[in-house]
Amino acid sequence: MDLGTGGPKVAVVTTDGVVLAHTTRTCDLVFTPDDGVEQDPAAWWKAIVDGAREVLADDAVAADRVVAVAVTSQWMGTVAVDEHGEHLGNALIWMDARGAPHVRQLVSGRLGGRASVAGYDPVKLRSWLRLTGGVPSLSGKDPVGHIAWIRHNEPERYAATKVFLDVPDYLNLRLCGRASASFDTAVGFWATDNRDLGAVRWDEQLVSWIDVDPTKLPDLLPTGSVVGTLTPEAAEELGLGTDVSVVTATGDTASAAIGAGTVRDLDAHLYVGTSSWLSCHTPTKRTDLRNNITSLPAGVPGRYWVATEQDTAGKCLTWLAENVLYPDDGLGPPMPPDVLERCNEVAARVPAGSNGVVFTPWLNGERTPVDDHTIRAGWHHLGLTTTRADLVRATFEGVALNARWMLEAAERFSRTRFEHVTFVGGGARSELWCQIMADVLDRPIRQVADPVLANVRGAALSAAVTLGHLRWPDVEGAVTINHTYRPDRAHRAVYDEHFAALVAIYRKNRGIHRRLTTHAADS
């Protein structure tokens, strides 16, 4: 089960990573006027159950041959759960920034709100980085911000909460009835001591700093372990037996790395879905606060992964289709079902550089290499000769230019040059985007076969290792590379120029965006 922001993919996968059957469902986002982004956990579960019923009805496999259920999902979200295991209201997902003001008070509290180091009390900052490897985001887009917002704005919900769970661990609760988190999924609370990956634990001091009742935090389990078996209720809904194992869940970043086959240290992968990241595994823990990068416990036991994030990537293309090309406002024709394929075809006819148009893809703020939830997107350098096709091509290129910004920060952090980048996620289905990524990043891009299924494949491979069907060195060979795209040197100069423009646009306009975003929220 891969619960993305847009909804779940549910698949039946062999223990050596072959996807036998899969389906996709959608789940709506709930936007609030005060910067909130929520989803209904009941809608998640219904979509997952419907998807599971569909794939198990396929002739590819009999239900009694299923040995485990493996969950991967969006993470850095928060579900409040009561004493009966029921969710209390909507989940606050990773895009929700309403807790930002409360987080700033928590992290700079010792100095009475007078920030000393990048907005953080220096004593707290030093401990956070030393113990957990990261810090609560000033944007409020993590469980620390979410819980703080609930505590201040919905005290009744906070009081009624038995346990706060991140999204993947909430789904495991629905499956096996156990409220727990693994060493890797618990990290978003920024309250675990991650220095020894074999014995991650809640740290009393860090828990007090995030101002959460410690009894409301889940039990911790080792990454890559069995949580339990399906409850009778979950088994009946899914059409499986109660002897089916439920393994520790992973965040989508962890499963994508495994599903890309990039389990060796410093073997980089790029994911483009709703959001994007560029990451690799690493044996060491360190943090670059300036560029909002750290290394956190990975889905591979005993390893860290380089944590990067860009808020909107593939979402930029769907936003373009839904709000500019084919909005449902009565002014134009309805959106065709093949709209993304049409976007690819139109963009391919425009030369590299989009005839001078630069798109900055910050529809919901940014995280790496700048943690700025107030910056916003735009097309730049439009003229009377600019066409709709230019805007479409610029959207593809803008996401790639932003990924280059992330690549530079990730390579500095990893102290290595990535010789190639493995590309997964829905964006990797586009041959045009693969080539644009190769040209903009100036790296060979390895397109994984069935890249949109990387996360479910990664979750399945992780479960197979947990249950003893595979070893971690076997994982790389279980993933097929469809094609490798080489950089076209003829496009180097124009993309260098556009990359410099994207960075300059951010630096010269961030103050304007901060004022506009703050004013819009206040009004």
Q: With 90 as the cut, is the pLDDT of residue 35 above it?
A: no
What is residue 174's predicted lDDT score, i.e. its pLDDT? 98
Give the end of a domain, one of 227, 248, 269.
248
Q: How would residue 59 be classed by pLDDT, with cut points 50, 70 and 90?
A: confident
Question: 261 in a domain, yes or no?
Answer: no
Taking CA 58 as the corner, what is the angle to CA 45 and CA 52, rounded to the nearest 5 degrees? 10
What spatial distance separates the first Cα and last Cα of the chain, rounded to whole Å? 40
Residue carrying structure tokens 């997952």: 48
Give the end of a domain, one of 192, 223, 248.
248
Give the end of a domain, one of 202, 229, 248.
248
Question: 68 in a domain, yes or no?
Answer: yes
Q: Fill in the DSSP letter of residue 296.
A: E
What is residue 521's predicted lDDT score, i.e. its pLDDT? 67
Residues 176 and 55 both lie in one domain: yes
- Which long-range contacts does 266-269 make (Cβ < 8 Å, 24+ apart)? 266/414, 266/416, 266/418, 267/422, 268/410, 268/418, 268/420, 268/421, 268/422, 269/421, 269/422, 269/423, 269/424
Tell me, what amino acid is at 18?
V
Q: Model confidence over 449-507: pLDDT tens digits?
A: 999 999 999 999 999 999 999 999 999 999 999 999 999 999 999 999 999 999 999 99
What is residue 114's predicted lDDT score, i.e. its pLDDT? 52
Q: With 80 as the cut, is the pLDDT of residue 115 above it?
A: no
Q: Model confidence over 126-148: pLDDT tens digits?
A: 999 999 999 999 889 999 999 99
Q: Residue range 397-420: average pLDDT?
A: 97
More confident residue, 443 or 329: 443
Q: Model confidence over 206-258: pLDDT tens digits?
A: 999 999 999 999 999 999 999 999 999 999 999 999 999 999 999 999 999 99
Q: Model confidence over 143-170: pLDDT tens digits?
A: 999 999 999 999 999 999 999 999 999 9
Question: 293 in a domain, yes or no?
Answer: no
Residues 242 and 327 both lie in one domain: no
Residues 38 and 151 both lie in one domain: yes
Question: 204 in a domain, yes or no?
Answer: yes
Q: Could you tell me the residue range of the domain that residue 111 belongs to? A: 2-248
Q: How would residue 361 be classed by pLDDT, with cut points 50, 70 and 90?
A: very high
**pTM, full prediction:** 0.91
Q: How many domains does the chain have?
A: 2
Residues 358 and 465 both lie in one domain: yes
